[in-house]
Amino acid sequence: MLTSKERAELRAQANGLDTTLMVGKGGVTEQVVLEAVTQLEARELVKGRVLEAALLGAREALEALCAATGAEPVCTVGSKFVLYRESEKLRRARNQVGRAKLAPVPVAKSNPVRKGAQARRRAAQAERERRNAYFRQTAIDRAIQREKEKAMGREQP
CATH superfamily, region 4-95: YhbY-like (3.30.110.60)
What would the mean pLDDT of 1-13 be, rounded to a whole number? 91
Helix-helix angle 58-69:30-43, to 10 degrees: 70
Within 10 angstroms of residue 155's Cβ, the number of other Cβ atoms is 7
What would the mean pLDDT of 59-68 be, rounded to a whole number? 95
Task: For the chain, give the mean pLDDT.
Answer: 87
Put simply, whether the predicted model's pTM sits higher than 0.95 gets the answer: no
